[in-house]
Structure 1
Amino acid sequence: MIRTSWGRVRAAWEDTLVDERGDVPGWVLVTLMTAGLVVAIWALAGPALADLFQQAISRVSGF
């Protein structure tokens, strides 16, 4: 069967749509790991950042 150029483009596009379903479990894992890292960093740095913020506010309010 001889395909026209439009037929080849259409077939390639259909193949691409079928193949590009995505890796949902991978994205879920990346999202959960990122959220976990944010929580861990916030737990460690949160008190220091809060203290730094309070010092900055007290210096600005002191003027």
Structure 2
Amino acid sequence: MLWGLSHAERSSSLCQATIQIEALVGLRLLALSASWLREGLSITCAWTACEENQLFEACFELQVLN
């Protein structure tokens, strides 16, 4: 489904989908960041989603871990 998109576009789409799921089931962004890394996406993906959704606590924890 995503094969026609560039890598950045695929990453962005996956980030958005993950954030939507995160909002629905109440998981924390910090926990999801590990999934993104396993999928080969940059931690920047987590940061972008974090900033867009104003999840400042999770952003702070990601910063501490890095």
User: TM-score w.r.t. structure 2 length?
Assistant: 0.32
User: TM-score w.r.t. structure 1 length?
Assistant: 0.33
More helix per residue: 1
